[in-house]
Amino acid sequence: MTQVYVSIGSNQQPEQHIKHALALLEDRFAPIQKSPVYESVAVGFDGDNFFNLVVCFDTDMSLSDLDKALDDIERQCGRVRHLQRFAPRTMDLDLLLYGDLVRHDSELHIPRREISRYAFVLKPLSDLAPLAVHPETGQTFEQMWEEGELSDQKLWEFDKL
């Protein structure tokens, strides 16, 4: 079994879509562990605030099958792929970590680069797995959060999910 971490984000009816995504993830990958949910402003475009969290679960799926399963869950939550990278989303599931795999190619970046770039990814990841180690930097996620320069990216903990 491989331990994986997936970020979940939505800015269109986020409470409804995140609950739906969590139920679908639980159906396929139970048990799952969840971080707190955080609200943040949209990045890269003017839009409604996003709600984000990170989940962790074990799977025996291959990387490619897991990627397809996550895409399927996005579609079930109403996700329509846009040509624009930054756009409103009913559901965005990003595979952050797949065990200790390091892979960077035209199809996939594991670990996701967003871990060190965005507070809305790193903070929930550090809450969920503070002592887990980033496979490239060798730092724990707690260290990355405490030593990172993401404090200018505002987050608000959201406790209504």
Helix, strand, coil percentages, rounded to 5, for the chain? 30, 25, 40
**What are the residue ranges spanned by the domains of the chain?**
2-158
DSSP string, 48-110: PPEEEEEEEEEE-S-HHHHHHHHHHHHHHTT----SSSS---S-EEEEEEETT--EESSS-EE
2-158, superfamily in CATH? 7,8-Dihydro-6-hydroxymethylpterin-pyrophosphokinase HPPK (3.30.70.560)
pLDDT digits (tens, 9 = 90+) for 54-108: 999 999 999 999 999 999 998 888 766 664 555 567 788 999 999 999 999 988 8
Distance of CA 80 to the CA centre of its chain: 18
Assess whether pLDDT exceeds 70 at residue 143.
yes
**β-bridge mates for residue 33, sequence order:** 56
